[in-house]
Structure 1
């Protein structure tokens, strides 16, 4: 879509009674958490999507139509951080969704924004320790409005939705396959869209969360989706859920080993009243406090209470430190010309890691050539 057409589209969606949130993502790049936030934000704001090269013109078109409340980078798959993010005169914010993956780079990038919304406990403290004054823990959540009222009768003993392939899911594959041999389950190998996922969970007595092998404490989307469905959530111990106000034995159940998991499933299938009690308490807790609308309320409070102060630590950095973060970011995203630009800045400043710059530029060239010659 051309820029002029895009801006015309932006103008059409403006409601003069609402402030504006600029969502730094192409609309077709919005999925899962980002999609849920997009729609939750739309309840209160005009939400305008754009990518980095469109941002200046979108800001210019919006300024005459309403107050820009926040420019939010939602950690999209494709869109990138604008080069002028530090010179914008409006509050900026970023999501860090999978903070455990590439942690240093994610925390460094967060320093470019006034507000950093961190999805996993403890990483918010790490970023605060680096000197960022605008850090907010914003755990995963669920769109509770998509789920039916608590359902008592369910046809599956255990429900499972999620991929079973790849190097990060070997423990998951072993455990899910063990469950499927002993209990009535849905098709564990099928890909499910959102409506089908909800149907699986709302028809399951128990559903399990088995996270990546390298981060099994993850309180991910699946945890909240299961609880919102009214199924009993069983997840690995320890879990991040303990750190965000949910309680093992009250809202969900934990396991330690594969044998323990199978024993817990057997126990809670046999003890129906106890299973339903815990599942219902989890269902209530999620509906009360862990909807995306709750999370948006947190964002609004944080931004409003800040009174437009410029909090991004990188605003006060020297040129070399800024260029280093931008170089690493664009190099990781394989944006050759942007990475080359910041690499040259670093080399001209007699950067002590010149070999690092050349190696990363070479890597981008190699990966891009490999991609285009497939």
Structure 2
């Protein structure tokens, strides 16, 4: 048997401080099945850290440094070790000059990103270092909870509207904004606003099982990737919604096409002009809705689980080494 890779993961315990983001830690934890991992959570110099951990790693993986190291520790001296190293990029709207400075100063070998086309639009010079690692789902949480389909239409997350406390930059999610504006007064439409990234755990916070069960109640769910000059992302909801056996009606983008999403087969593509008509059609045509919903469920659980993504991550590192 080939000896497992030894990987040092430089990451913060944001799953404890920011419970809404526990799902991101689940993705990292899934790697434990395919490699030997050692986690380091505190700021420090890499040479000091290497003296403290139980093995010499084959690879060092530094989680996303965005928002002034909100999700990962601030590590110095990475440029002074000859161990191959990679980092993670989630949010392309953060300071790109600081990212470039970080890549260069720390001599980063691989850059893992949740997006491909948007990433290359921002960092075309990093094409050879890019390893596309899209979002995925924890099948113990994102699954069919057998909830009664009590919601016809559901919308969750970041949406811009005057009366919302938590909202994105105006225009970032134009499709969602239009859905809310058009449908919020319908009796069979449910909208739950984004609670804020720093929301503390409480009975009303829709996270983990409670979040998945709410999606599972919906016959139809609306979402989109970000609307800007980057061309759209495969955001987490593209995976979570079909993964909870709800019909995904979404504004498509190049990313999801590359990932295997097929209009009319495992999700329904719609535009800002026709989403309402398509929603009405699939609400009325239950056989068609259930066929696509079931295909979407099988598609996500067979191709986009955390375990599958973890194997891909380890293989990418092995191929590089």
The one of 25, 49, 59 equivalent to 2:50 is: 59
Structure (1 or 2) with the greater helix fraction: 1
| Distance in 2 separating the partners of 1:266 and 1:179 | 11
- Sort the Cα spacing of 1:220 and 1:231 in 2 relative to 1 into closer, same or farther, 3 A: same
1:193 aligned onto 2:218: no
Counterpart in 2 of 1:71? 60
The question of whether the paired residues in 2 share the 8 Å contact of 1:151 and 1:230 is answered with no
> Matches of residues 13-52 of structure 1 in structure 2 within 5 Å?
20-28=6-14, 31-32=21-22, 34-44=24-34, 45-52=36-43
Counterpart in 2 of 1:229? 244
Runs of at least 5 residues in structure 2 that lack an aligned partner in the other structure: 160-166, 196-205
- Sort the Cα spacing of 1:189 and 1:303 in 2 relative to 1 into closer, same or farther, 3 A: closer
The question of whether the paired residues in 2 share the 8 Å contact of 1:158 and 1:184 is answered with yes
TM-score, with length taken from structure 1: 0.68
The Cα shift of 1:129 comes to: 4.7
**Which segments of structure 1 move beyond 6 Å, counting only runs of 4 or more?**
none
1:285 aligned onto 2:299: yes
Secondary structure of 2:264's match? Answer: coil
TM-score, with length taken from structure 2: 0.78
Counterpart in 2 of 1:173? 177
> Matches of residues 118-267 of structure 1 in structure 2 within 5 Å?
118-123=113-118, 125=120, 129-130=124-125, 133-149=128-144, 151=146, 153-164=148-159, 165-168=167-170, 171=174, 172-189=176-193, 191=195, 192-214=206-228, 217-257=232-272, 259-267=273-281
| Distance in 1 separating the partners of 2:151 and 2:126 | 49
The Cα shift of 1:145 comes to: 2.2
The question of whether the paired residues in 2 share the 8 Å contact of 1:209 and 1:233 is answered with yes
- Sort the Cα spacing of 1:170 and 1:227 in 2 relative to 1 into closer, same or farther, 3 A: closer
| Distance in 2 separating the partners of 1:48 and 1:180 | 44
- Sort the Cα spacing of 1:213 and 1:274 in 2 relative to 1 into closer, same or farther, 3 A: same
Q: CA RMSD in A?
A: 2.9
Runs of at least 5 residues in structure 1 that lack an aligned partner in the other structure: 1-16, 308-374
The Cα shift of 1:189 comes to: 3.6
Q: Greater RCO between the two (CA within 8 Å, min separation 6)?
A: 2
| Distance in 1 separating the partners of 2:148 and 2:23 | 29
| Distance in 1 separating the partners of 2:29 and 2:256 | 25
The question of whether the paired residues in 1 share the 8 Å contact of 2:60 and 2:83 is answered with yes
- The number of equivalent residue pairs is 288
Report the structure number with the largest CA radius of gyration: 1
The question of whether the paired residues in 1 share the 8 Å contact of 2:31 and 2:311 is answered with no
Structure (1 or 2) with the greater strand fraction: 2
Secondary structure of 1:146's match? Answer: coil
| Distance in 2 separating the partners of 1:297 and 1:280 | 25
| Distance in 2 separating the partners of 1:209 and 1:297 | 28
